[in-house]
Each structure stands twice: as C-alpha cells, then as structure tokens.
Chains A and B, each alone.
Chain A
Amino acid sequence: MSAPSVAWPAGSAERPAVLAGNAFGRLLGGVAATAQAELRKLRHDHVDVFTRSAQPLLWLFVFGTALHNTHAIAVGNVDYRAYITPGVMAQAALFIAIFFGLAVIWERDVGQLQRLLATPLPRTAIVLGKAAGSGVRALVQAALLLVVVAATGIGLRWTVLGVVGALVMLVLATGAFACMSMLIAAAVRTRERFMGIGQLVMMPLFFASSALYPLSIMPGWLHVVARINPLTYEVQGLRQMLVGVGGGGELWLDFLVVLGFLAAMVAAATRAYPRAIL
C-alpha cells in the first residue's frame, strides 16, 4: 500500500545547534566520556579489580619464583621475576581486553550501542571509547601490580619516564586488543563460541611472545610466529622501559608496531562492530 506522495519537501538546510562544533571535538568528547564512565564503574566495584589482580600475582610469585630459583631460563643478569613482570602485566591486560568482547556478546551493551548509534557521536568514538575503557581498566590493574612489585623489592629500573612510558604503551596495546576482541565478537555472536575462540586466540598470543622467555630460546617456527605477534612488541617495549633490557628490538619500533596495530584494529572494528548488533 502506498499513499499518494505529497510534494516532497527538501531536507532542512538549518543545522542543529549540537553540530556547531567540529567532528574531531565530538570524537574526543565521546572517548573521554566513555573512559570516565569506565573509571566510575571501577570505583563502584573494587572487588573486580582485586579478583582480576590475583592471576598476574600468581604468575609472578609462584611461576616466577620457581623459575628464578631453578635458573631454568637464561635471561642474563636480571632477576627472572623482574624479567617476567612486563610479560605478566601485558598478559593481565590482554585478559581484560579479550574478555571485553564477551561483554558485547552478553548483550549488556546491545541497547547502549543502539542508543549511541542514534546519537551524533562519530562511530569511531564508540569503538575508541570502548578501547579507552579497557585501557583504563588495564591501567588501574597495572598500577596495583607495580605497587606490589615495588613493595616486594623486585628490582625494576624505577624511572619516572620508564613507568609513564610503560603505562602509555600498555593502554595503547590493551585498546588494540579490545578492538580485536570486538571484531571476534562481531563475527561469532554467541557466548559459547566466543569462549572457545577467545582461549584459542589468547593462549598462543601469550606463549608465542617474549612474555615468559626470550625469543632467542624459541625454536625457529615459534620465533617467526612471535615476530608477527603484536604482544611481543608490547612486552619488549615494557621490558625496555621497566627493566632496562630489551628483547632485541628498538623501543621506537615497539611503539610503532603497537600504534599501527591499534590503528588497524580501530579501523576494522569501526566497520564491523556497530553493524553486528543490529
């Protein structure tokens, strides 16, 4: 059934006042608002931060201490626990990022996402906001971990620039992995399958990186995998800044790879993720 068309009016030329600012300003504002909301959620739920902190501490003090005492892995003149601190930090952040996608599938966000898509907020801001949210969580957790590390006297190289730089790198990389998680979530759509794929992605990322051992002791094929694994560059960068020993690469290259990975994942997630919920 089709009603007779009245003379079709031209779309109004007058812009709504809300759009007076530029798109970049709206983007930054949206990301900031999302990150702020994420911080507020953490404030309401301290328990979450502490339970999530248990696992990295176990890696550090059980696994780390055991291997430190047996000298099973040659890492040069460094305390093995100090050596794996960046790896454990990165792994804990990776957990936060990967399970971020699960929240999407859980549909906790479905209505919110529909709401946000119907606001003037740029779509990139929605994805970047989510990424910033997981970055904020990783930041809080990493800060706690560093406090524990400092209190137990594990010998990191404590410089202001090193710690700040490491936290910046951690936030960037966590944001990138969160976007990757949103991509997986957009593709699989059911919680059960996500659990399987999440594990399938996370464990190889972790073990095929320099998180626990230097690249030099890996067999050839694993070395190749580790070289294309962004987590390797994240850990190398963190280690360079926190411990003072690199995994071989240059710090600028580590940052470049992490930034490139972030840009690629944000771009891909901006295309795939909002569409997946409709």
Chain B
Amino acid sequence: MSGHGAGGSPPPGAVLVDGLVVRFGDLLAVRGISFGVAEGETFGLLGPNGAGKTTTLRVLTTLLRPDDGRALVAGYDVRRQSLEVRASIGYVPQALSADGALTARENLEFYARVTGVPRRDRGPRIADAVEAMRLEAILDRLARELSGGMLRRLEIATALLNRPRVLFLDEPTVGLDPTARRLVWERLHALRAESGTTIVVTTHLMEEAERHCDRLAIMDRGLLVEEGVPSLLRERHEVANLEEVFAAVTGHEIEEGGRIADVRAQRRVARRLG
C-alpha cells in the first residue's frame, strides 16, 4: 500500500494512523496505536466495550482531537485539514442519526443538502443511494416507523450521498436481528463491489468481523494488540476462531466489561432499533 514514492506525494491509502493517543483526563483511552487501511478495503476495528474503538473512529471523523500522534484520512490530515476530511467521508454513528419525524426521502434530501451535494446532482445521487441500500419501498414512510434494519440502511444511504472515499460505521449491526444484520452486510459488500468505497467498521462481534472484514485490528484497553487478515490470524495463533485469537493475544477472555454508561447506551440503541 503506502510505498515510498519518488517525487510527489506517495499514495497514503485510505487511512493511515501513527502513534495515536487520546486522553480523557487521567484515562488513556487510546495509547499510541498505528495502522493503515488500503483503498477499497473493508477494515474492522474489533474489541470489547471500552477498548478505544469508538474513540479512534471519532478521531478519524474529526469529532475528537488526538492528544498525540497523527492520522491521514483520504489523504488529508485530521488535525490540520479537518474540513477536507469531513468533505471526503461518510459517517454513521452508533446512536440513531436518522430523524424519526421525517420520511426516509426527506432524511436523504436533508443530508444531501448538508453534505454539500450540488443541487443538480441531488436527485441522481439519492436514487443511487436508495438503490444501493434497497430503500425503494420505504421512501415515503416516517423514519420512526421503520424497523431497525431499514433504519440502519437508511442511515448508511444518507452517508453515501457525497460519494465518500471512506465510510466509517460504528457498530452498524448492534441491536439487529440476524436477518437484518445479514442484509446490512450484503448491501455493504455490494456497495464495495460497485463503487470501491473503503469501509472502516467497529464491532465487538468476533464472528461478524471474521466473516465480513478483509483485514482487521484487534483493540484492547486502548492498545492495538493484533492486526491482519482473519484467516491468517487464526493460523498464526493456531486456533479455531477470532475469539481464541483475542484470548491468545490479550491473555483474557472478551469479558462483558465497559462502564455502565456504555451498557446503558447500548441498551438504548438496541431498544430503539429492536
């Protein structure tokens, strides 16, 4: 991926992170992590609650300034070129981001305007996103009447309108039943096949990461403890699945850890979507 080009700037890949540190007061949420994501890759940030995945994503989406280290997204520096980064990405946070009091179509029109899609392109872009996420049948329904899976697909569609180079999804399948989960992933794979969008996704579900990500990084307590292609990770640690890879590299099981606020937040999301 990021070879050292002679003259001119080398292609930095979709995401490049070097020595990233984030502190919340005394708490070191992210302790100097480094990784890269190639163009067109589906990359997973995997780990238990409180591992620092969401914090990392917030740095990459410019919501949070890192205390140390550097990161490039779509070739732009998250500190010095945050506006350029924001113009080049799509982001679907874990919390509900569609407006329940608007219809699916109105949500799409709203996000087309605020992400700066030129007026003449809005119609075709919305049509493309609707097709990519299979939303044709629900366009005129209020978002609050949609099922969890439809809502997630609507939110992803709203994040595609500006043709992002990198799409960030924070726990996109949390609170969804297996069928809805499968459909979300099916559409994400199709999206990548058709438009080559780079996808960075966080999840605490080992099985999901293993099945759907080209490459992944395992995070635990603010550190990046392992990185690679899922099948190769299993081979390297001579185990049957990612859960055991996690246990092998961290020395502990994925416990149901996390602060009570995390648990509460997750339940709330699950209740809304469920």
Is the pairing of A and B real? yes
Q: How far is the CA of A32 from the CA of B119 in the complex (A)?
A: 13
Q: How far is the CA of A61 from the CA of B4 in the complex (A)?
A: 78
Q: Which of B35, B101, B114 contacts A30 (CB 8 A)?
A: B114
Contact segment of A50-58, A108-116, A142-150, A172-180: A108-116
Contact bitstring B80-101, A, C-beta under 8 A = 1, else 0: 1101101111011111111111
Q: Which of B32, B86, B89, B100 contacts A1 (CB 8 A)?
A: B32
Chain A residues near B268 (CB-CB < 8 A)? 107
Q: Is the CB of B116 within 8 A of A21?
A: yes
Contact bitstring B143-165, A, C-beta under 8 A = 1, else 0: 00000000000000011001000
Q: How far is the CA of A21 from the CA of B117 in the complex (A)?
A: 11
Q: Which of B70, B76, B111 contacts A8 (CB 8 A)?
A: B70
Number of interface residues of B (CB under 8 A): 61
Q: How far is the CA of A115 from the CA of B106 in the complex (A)?
A: 16
Q: How far is the CA of A9 from the CA of B18 in the complex (A)?
A: 11
Q: Is the CB of A40 within 8 A of B64?
A: no
Q: Is the CB of A2 within 8 A of B34?
A: yes
Q: Which of A2, A10, A107, A121 contacts B114 (CB 8 A)?
A: A121
Q: Is the CB of B100 within 8 A of A15?
A: no
Q: How far is the CA of A37 from the CA of B101 in the complex (A)?
A: 9
Verify if A249 is at the interface (C-beta below 8 Å from B): no
Q: Is the CB of B35 within 8 A of A115?
A: no
Q: Is the CB of B34 within 8 A of A111?
A: no
Q: Is the CB of A111 within 8 A of B87?
A: no
Q: Which of B35, B70, B102, B114 contacts A44 (CB 8 A)?
A: B102
> Which 7 pairs of residues, A with B, have the shortest CB-CB distance?
A111-B95, A111-B97, A12-B75, A33-B113, A11-B77, A16-B87, A3-B34
Would you mind naming 19 contact pairs between A and B with Cβ atoms under 8 Å apart? Answer: A3-B35, A8-B18, A8-B70, A9-B9, A9-B10, A12-B9, A18-B115, A19-B84, A19-B116, A32-B113, A33-B114, A37-B110, A40-B106, A41-B99, A44-B101, A107-B95, A112-B97, A120-B83, A278-B58
